[in-house]
Amino acid sequence: MNPTALSARGLACGYRRVPVLRDVDLDIPEGELTVLVGPNGSGKTTLLRSLGGLLAPLSGEILVRGRPIARLGIRDRARLAAYVPQMEAPVPGYTVRQTVWAGRFARLGWFAPGTPEDERAVAGALAAVGLGGDAERPASELSGGEFRRLLIARALAQEAPVLLLDEPEAHLDAGHQAEILGMLRRLARSGTAVAATIHDLNLASLWADRIGVLTGGRLRPPAAPREALSEDAVEGAYRAGLIRIDHPRTDRPQFLHSVTNLVMTQARKRNRAE
């Protein structure tokens, strides 16, 4: 495996001292796209926020480039790890360009003028997500998918060695999903450690180098898609009666709903509820 950029050991994380996840051991290596999947409420966002230093763990340790993330100030942390949240509102009055400029905070002093290097970073980040021609538009006028790409551009502008993204494909059409996930994989290949939560199992399987499955308050250690997304692992996590097939071009696993299995699963859920 490539060198580890971010690691967690014995991690428990949650809210108001109530753990959502326990005993998490995780390595996010340079040069790979690591994807976290799991059903709603399994702790994907909680784990990602903890890894980014935005949510203090209940126990355990997180190291980024060998440094305990809990001991880093906000600017030092932002130089090492960039985080894209699942949801955020546009800053009133900010343009697209100004929003991405906020990603340079860690590399600029307060109110310091930007350098040509900063300009290049901002322009490159906008171009990478297909918003290069929208720099002067108010961020509030963007569609949901466009704003999603803008948040990714802001994180890219940080030029951090670790990139954490919470559902980067959300609100995007199929074409832009492929563009963004392809861009993230290329970024990983260039040496960045990239970790993302992805809601869609099929997209996760197609694009990830390794996949970790969250279920029952635990994380299955990330593995190659064919191993991580075994029928037993997916059924144990989702209880959805999914049928696994192999993609005709990539040979990676893909999942379909069986109408019969789906009806039976829903009936069992109703019976348990009654």
187 and 274 share one domain: no
164 and 221 share one domain: yes
Q: In the chain, how many domains are there? A: 2
CB 13 within 8 A of CB 19: yes
CB 158 within 8 A of CB 165: no
Q: Residue 19 sits in a domain of what CATH number?
A: 3.40.50.300
Residue 273: domain span: 239-274
Predicted confidence at residue 264, as pLDDT, reads 56
Alpha carbons 158 and 160: distance in angstroms, whole number: 5
Predicted confidence at residue 105, as pLDDT, reads 87
DSSP 8-class letter at 95: B
Average pLDDT, integer, range 146-156: 97
Predicted confidence at residue 199, as pLDDT, reads 93
Average pLDDT, integer, range 9-19: 95
Alpha carbons 1 and 6: distance in angstroms, whole number: 13
139 and 115 share one domain: yes
246 and 210 share one domain: no
**How far does Cα 125 stand from its chain's mean position?**
17
pLDDT band, very low/low/confident/very high, at 109 (cuts 50, 70, 90): low
Predicted confidence at residue 173, as pLDDT, reads 94
Average pLDDT, integer, range 139-165: 96
214: β partners: 219
Q: Which amino acid is at 32?
A: E
The fraction of the chain above a pLDDT of 90, given in percent, is: 87
pLDDT band, very low/low/confident/very high, at 8 (cuts 50, 70, 90): very high
- pTM here is 0.91
Is the pLDDT reported for residue 84 higher than 80?
yes
253 and 217 share one domain: no
Percent helix, strand, coil in the chain, to 5, is 40, 25, 30
Alpha carbons 139 and 4: distance in angstroms, whole number: 35
64 and 122 share one domain: yes
Alpha carbons 65 and 143: distance in angstroms, whole number: 36
137 and 180 share one domain: yes
22 and 130 share one domain: yes
CB 21 within 8 A of CB 47: yes
pLDDT tens digits for 195-253?
Answer: 999 999 999 999 999 999 999 999 999 999 999 999 999 999 999 889 999 999 999 99
pLDDT tens digits for 30-82?
Answer: 999 999 999 999 999 999 999 999 999 999 999 999 999 999 999 999 999 99
Average pLDDT, integer, range 116-127: 96
266 and 189 share one domain: no
90 and 176 share one domain: yes
Is the pLDDT reported for residue 259 higher than 90?
no
49 and 122 share one domain: yes
The mean predicted confidence, pLDDT, of the chain is: 93
Average pLDDT, integer, range 120-128: 96
Average pLDDT, integer, range 255-266: 66
Alpha carbons 142 and 149: distance in angstroms, whole number: 10
Alpha carbons 213 and 149: distance in angstroms, whole number: 25
Is the pLDDT reported for residue 262 higher than 60?
no
Predicted confidence at residue 241, as pLDDT, reads 85
Average pLDDT, integer, range 242-271: 77
Predicted confidence at residue 268, as pLDDT, reads 59
193 and 261 share one domain: no
